[in-house]
Structure 1
Amino acid sequence: MTAAVPHPREVLLGSQAAALTLPVCDHYSGVEARMRKSLQLQAEMQQEFGHCVFDVTLDCEDGAPVGQEREHAQLVAQLASNAAAGARVAARVHTVDHPAFAQDMDIIAGQAGQRLCHIMIPKVESVDDVLQAERALLAAGAGHLPLHALIESPAAVHRAFEIAAHPRIQSLSFGLMDFVSAHGGAIPASGMTSAGQFQHPLVVRAKLEIAAACHANGKVPSHCVVTEFSDTAAMQAAAGRAAREFGYTRMWSIHPAQIRPILAAFAPEDAEIARAARIIAAAIDADWAPISEEGVLHDRASYRYFWQLLERAHQTGRALPQQAQAWFANPDSAPT
């Protein structure tokens, strides 16, 4: 009897595999009509690509009308519970010091925990906030859920490595607008624009610290929003810089028109995909021993890179070469 061939993901990524396969786009909506439309769009694009290519995060922090936090949390729990099969639905709750936080966690995690992919905690300042959120998860009976943390202040950036190291954390996101406003006018308003956020040294430093903290701990760095949602060129340029120059592997969307530009910006080129598939196939044939490809040596270090490139191609809906398709159609085993 022939032994099963280990999947490339298992061989090359090990315990990091689950965290590193998050969709590259995280789409936020908080108004009921937009939340429903977001879930409908997710289902339509899931059918188009054959798998879920973006998360939908239902928002309580900015979505709940003042005084109606309970009703909004119940709506979020209902929408998540009724989401289509295969949907990836998350929720952003209020901050841990907000009066509605415990209620959010009890209702949303308690009623819809089995359908959620994660819960986003805004304005995380320290590991203590993560611990408080974890206790609320456990109290709601949703101890299986990962947490995502939104880093929005200079102090939180300073503690990013400690926050990312917590085992409950799956991803850190950068909150650009709150980060800029936390500097009391020391960073100009241009630092919040699609282009200016890549130029001001304090903003650039914060982006790099968060990305580095995530990569050091096997977590996913998620880039901030682009507020010029009607400017597709600005959106794709910002997403491209976040991916190529700043090490981000995921990005927020706040308008449906931003989803496809994010997918395109984070997607590898066709030639890169073809080369990665050739190298991984040759590595499997060599039982993961070093190989030579066009006069260049490759071993497990470069195999890991090329496998992650194929993962990103799959996440962004790109067509895969035939020899790579089986690795994603049947993720439990590699072709022999």
Structure 2
Amino acid sequence: MAVPSTHQAIARATTFLFVPATRPERIAKALASGAGAVVVDLEDAVAPGEKAAARTALLAAVKALEPAQRARLLVRTNAADTPWHADDVVAVAACVAQGLAGAMLAKAESAAELGALARALGPQGLLVPLVESNAGLDALDALAQAPQVVRLAFGHLDFQVDLGLECAADEAELLPVRLALVRASRRAGLAAPVDGVTTATDDLARLAEDTARSRRMGFGGKLCIHPAQVAPVQAAFAPDPAALAWARRVLDEAPAHGGAVFRLDGRMVDAPVLALAARLLARAGDQPTAV
């Protein structure tokens, strides 16, 4: 089986596990957790006085990793308007030169910020803008269409703070924002966006509810803050075996009908149903029959 490219690894990942840059010994463990991608955090997880030491630790840790591990690694940089951003970019660029996937920009708010970051990282550096503010929401299309952006991510906690929201447990107040991220990703031809964290690391029921909502809304992954969250989130995003079997049967049957509507198991199969079947198989990494 061919090894997925760095772009494929980030575009297909359903779990993005955060690790503080001040705990470099956890990076290899996080990569071994089964997470699709690991995000080394230089932002919220690192106190201002520890930023420089965290960058040094990051550089040393990346050198010790295997190439396949580096391809699944992102670094969350501090926002572009902070005093730490420029030094973060220098460190991440050095890591990208060694095969690290790219950067997750905290509080992304403009295409100009992303353009500058892309130029600093070079053409191989992938970008995942983290939308965490009203300004970021206003700039969604520009962020999604910026060079080297693979997918969008939603920092829903900071977003609530920025807008002064007090969301209920089901976060119904954020449904329009989540839909906006999904729509912007679709317009830009990106992989489905990545939803925010579930902070209750010991509440698997809450995690299941949050992840189910993410999937229903069209998200393709979720940010995680504890290794115990990885397996449940991946399972929630994985296509159901019965649904995959149905999708294969639909696409295998379709050529015999020459593009016409047909019935299978008492259900009408038309163009939208064919597209749904193909999408299910693509998500699972299957290769459907051409229709």
Distance across 2 between alignment mates of 1:247 and 1:257: 23
Give the residue type in structure 2 aligned to 1:63. A
User: Which residue of 149, 163, 171 corresponds with 2:143?
Assistant: 163
Secondary structure (helix, strand or coil) at the match of 2:180 reads helix
Give the residue type in structure 2 aligned to 1:210. L
What corresponds to 1:75 in structure 2? 57
Contact 2:114–2:147, Cα closer than 8 Å, also in 1 = no
Distance across 2 between alignment mates of 1:288 and 1:21: 34
Q: Output aligned runs, 1:50-129, within 5 Å.
A: 53-87=35-69, 88-129=72-113
Deviation at 1:228, TM superposition (A): 1.0
Cα distance 1:108–1:159, how it changes in 2: closer, same or farther (>3 A)? closer
Number of equivalent positions: 278
What corresponds to 1:241 in structure 2? 213
Distance across 2 between alignment mates of 1:231 and 1:113: 39
Give the residue type in structure 2 aligned to 1:181. V
What corresponds to 2:160 in structure 1? 180
Deviation at 1:31, TM superposition (A): 5.0
Distance across 2 between alignment mates of 1:303 and 1:78: 49
Cα distance 1:211–1:135, how it changes in 2: closer, same or farther (>3 A)? same
Q: Output aligned runs, 1:1-336, within 5 Å.
A: 18=8, 21-33=11-23, 35-43=24-32, 45=34, 53-87=35-69, 88-137=72-121, 142-184=122-164, 187-188=165-166, 191=167, 195-197=169-171, 199-200=172-173, 203-219=174-190, 220-244=192-216, 246-282=217-253, 286=255, 290=259, 292=262, 294=264, 296-298=268-270, 302-314=273-285, 324=286, 327=287
Cα distance 1:208–1:82, how it changes in 2: closer, same or farther (>3 A)? same
Cα distance 1:303–1:145, how it changes in 2: closer, same or farther (>3 A)? farther
Cα distance 1:108–1:31, how it changes in 2: closer, same or farther (>3 A)? closer
Cα distance 1:183–1:115, how it changes in 2: closer, same or farther (>3 A)? same
Contact 2:151–2:194, Cα closer than 8 Å, also in 1 = yes
Distance across 2 between alignment mates of 1:236 and 1:21: 22
Give the residue type in structure 1 aligned to 2:14. V
Contact 2:20–2:40, Cα closer than 8 Å, also in 1 = yes
When the two structures are superposed, what TM-score results if normalisation uses the length of structure 1? Answer: 0.73
Deviation at 1:293, TM superposition (A): 5.8
Gaps of 5+ in 1: 1-16, 46-52, 315-323, 329-333
Contact 1:19–1:170, Cα closer than 8 Å, also in 2 = no
Gaps of 5+ in 2: 1-6
When the two structures are superposed, what TM-score results if normalisation uses the length of structure 2? Answer: 0.84
What is the root-mean-square deviation in Å for CA atoms of aligned residues?
A: 2.8
Give the residue type in structure 2 aligned to 1:30. P
Contact 2:37–2:73, Cα closer than 8 Å, also in 1 = yes
Cα distance 1:196–1:302, how it changes in 2: closer, same or farther (>3 A)? closer
